[in-house]
């Protein structure tokens, strides 16, 4: 099982062994990580915004246009921002590290 590392809003780390095939949002919700996901992964909000560690960003599948459009609404957007509902856990993501932004914007 791939290990996913969440850097929480208080800068603490939570390491989770995640099942392949789940979205990062599902992994977070299944493990009580403080990430909203108001639209429940339907790509209609930006509340599951995460900041991917630079060394992992290029290893992810590229964001599609719909995700990029939603990211434009995200609080604290960075060059390595992604939506957790669009990142699917695979074995090649073992060690993936993502940070939760200090806030969210739900429009």
The per-residue pLDDT for range 28-74, each reduced to its tens digit, is 999 999 999 999 999 999 999 999 999 999 999 999 999 999 999 88
H helix or E strand, kind and range, residue 49: strand 49-52
Find out whether 93 and 59 touch, Cβ atoms under 8 Å. Answer: yes
Residue 107 has pLDDT above 70, yes or no: no
H helix or E strand, kind and range, residue 66: helix 65-71
Half-sphere exposure of 71 (CA within 13 A, CB side): 18
Q: How confident is the model at residue 17 (pLDDT cuts 50, 70, 90)?
A: very high
Residue 13 has pLDDT above 70, yes or no: yes
Percent pLDDT > 90 in the chain is 90
Q: What is the pLDDT of residue 75?
A: 85
Q: What is the pLDDT of residue 103?
A: 65
For 3-99, CATH gives 3.10.20.30
Mean confidence (pLDDT) of the chain: 94
Find out whether 85 and 24 touch, Cβ atoms under 8 Å. Answer: yes
The pTM of the full predicted model, rounded to 2 decimals, is 0.93
């Amino acid at each position: 099982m791939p290990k996913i590392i969440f850097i929480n809003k208080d800068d603490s780390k939570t390491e989770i062994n995640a099942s392949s095939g789940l979205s990062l949002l599902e992994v977070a919700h299944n493990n009580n990580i403080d990430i909203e996901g108001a639209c429940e992964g339907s790509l209609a909000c930006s509340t599951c915004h995460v900041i991917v560690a630079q060394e992992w960003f290029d290893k992810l599948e590229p964001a599609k246009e719909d995700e990029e459009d939603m990211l434009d609404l995200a609080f604290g957007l960075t060059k390595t921002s992604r939506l957790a509902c669009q990142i699917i856990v695979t074995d090649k993501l073992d060690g993936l590290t993502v940070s939760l932004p200090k806030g969210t914007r739900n429009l």
